[in-house]
Amino acid sequence: MSSLNAPDSGHLIDLNDLAAEFRADDLYQRKGQIARTLVHTPDLRVVIIALAGDRTIAEHHASATVTIHCLSGRLRLQLPDRQVELAAGNLLPLGRDLPHDVHALEDSVFVLTLGTT
């Protein structure tokens, strides 16, 4: 599935199907990480990411408010003042420019949503 540059028509995306595809993908098998942008418009970006257990996305920040929605597995985020663990079904909003890393405590899939900068 390619990015949806104009989601105005209301295109349905099955996140469970994508998560299963990711786990079987060669890149995920080799690198332990794969991502795909699902929606990219001037005011919204939505990305699905699979991260193998014990893999980390190094500290970074976004120039917009974001949410991280854990679909499966368990994640640990290191924030400036604390650690936060997310399990399947948890949603974590993060303020603009808040430094954080993302560590998969087990094989995990999550959705990253970025608002307008």
Q: Note if the pTM is more than 0.85.
A: yes
Tell me the residue type at 91.
L
Kindly report, residue by residue over 70-109, the tens digit of the pLDDT.
Answer: 999 999 999 999 999 999 999 999 999 999 999 999 999 9
- In single-letter form, the type of residue at position 72 comes to S
Terminal CA-to-CA distance of the chain, rounded, Å? 25
Strand partners, 57: 102
**CA 80 from centre of chain:** 20
- Asked if the model's pLDDT at residue 113 lies above 70, the reply is yes
Q: Which amino acid is at 111?
A: V
**Mean pLDDT along residues 2-8:** 56
Instruction: Provide the pLDDT confidence category of residue 3 given band limits of 50, 70 and 90.
Output: very low
Mind listing the pLDDT tens digit for each residue in 13-50? 999 999 999 989 999 999 999 999 999 999 999 999 99
d(CA 46, CA 20): 18
